[in-house]
Structure 1
Amino acid sequence: MACSGTSPSPIVGNPKCRNSYILSPLHPPPSSQKFPSLHFNSILSLRSGHFITSAHARISSSPNPRVHPNFVVMASGGQSRPLRIMISGAPASGKGTQCELITGKYGLVHIAAGDLLRAEIASGSENGKRAKEYMDKGQLVPDEIVVMMVKDRLMQPDSQEKGWLLDGYPRSMSQAVALKDLGIQPDLFLLLEVPEELLVERVVGRRLDPVTGKIYHLKYSPPENEEIAARLTQRFDDTEEKVKLRLQTHHQNV
């Protein structure tokens, strides 16, 4: 979805991002049909603008703006709690940009499933070694490796007090069911959809500065000088072959 003068209001105002706009509410998105029993309170598709809601919760003004600067969720029992959001999309669909904007606006804790996995890999743990084998092949890491890591992170005090934005998980029906069985459900599920050819271009051109940690793109955000360009590295799974395998897996599970 491209940004244009006819687009409705942005989710959190980023006119440079082509998938940062929400269209008017219409009908349930096709991908939501695979999650009929999960009863997410809201599902948004940022490609077609589909929007569904349930009456299980409502959003209200925060009674304590210093802790929850914008809003909290009022559950059916009358208990207020911080907002819980899940965001999903293919590799390079813009999740990082949207997460930065959303957490900055609403004060939620950003929890990226990919970061949790990479931390396990870096630690050299048995789970990390198993995860790397699957990631090297461009495949999803088995649910049993990831779901408990996600649950433990969501239960930490900062997530419970401020609310959370879970990035990149769940990616399949089985993962969604596993979270539901653990009592974890969001108030809002965001789905970002971008044409595949653009996703491949974004991933293949992506580079990391190992000194500053800054992400560059050879076409869209090139390094400032030759010194930086010379030290840039590419993630092992950011090749065209591997990203196409990841996209194929993503499309099969959405």
Structure 2
Amino acid sequence: MSRSAVLLTGASSGIGEAATYELSARGYALVLAARREDRLRRLARELDPSGSRVIVVPCDVADPAAREALVRAALEHFGQIDVLVNNAGVGLGGGAWWKDPDWPRVLHVNLEAAMALTALVLPPMVERGQGHIVNVASVAGQVATEGVYSASKFGVRGFSFALRRELWGSGVAVSVVSPGFVRTEMTAGSRLNKLGLPMPGPEVVAQAIAGVLARPRREVTVPRLYRLAALAEALPALSDPLIARGYSARRR
């Protein structure tokens, strides 16, 4: 089994927590990063009581100094970072984004932090001719639905696809995993709960992350049904009124 070292952000809950279990079961060494240290330590004790294969680094990825400390701790313990999974993400929880003064944080966490962490880990990967960047985007990055959140996830996808081309032939792979509506803390209060959409657990996304590590691909959308959603942006005459109707109802 592989002992490649994976740096995983947003590891304390939802997709990140599920990915922690999935990747650990497949033999990867893990650097778990998130703000909630207590949850990270619980996971680490459960998966690796020795503390040799799974380490915890509390980190707010929106903080540049914290990002540098995270990468430094990973390198000090494992010697190198073989895989970076940019999974940390936040939303605004509904309502008009322009009324929320904290909206820039969505861009800082979802997009800027992913780019900055990639810039920190990438040079040694390119030098070795081996590595993998996995960015967790969203179907909201394929179909524009929620203002700033969609902007951040469209950005993650655009960054990833461009980076993949920039690194072509370098030995460093770049993949995007785009989840549809899955059951996590972030989606618990979403208005989309009322639409009757398929809502599997985060394990399906964790399996997709592990899958692209085993067989690198440009993008994987899960659940598969959501692959059809991307067609909506090609048919704005149908999608614009449908999506806008939901927002109009919410403004009343």
Superposition TM-score, scaled by structure 2 size:
0.33
User: TM-score normalized by structure 1?
Assistant: 0.33
Greater share of helix residues, 1 or 2? 2
With CA pairs under 8 Å and 6+ residues apart, which has the higher RCO, 1 or 2? 1
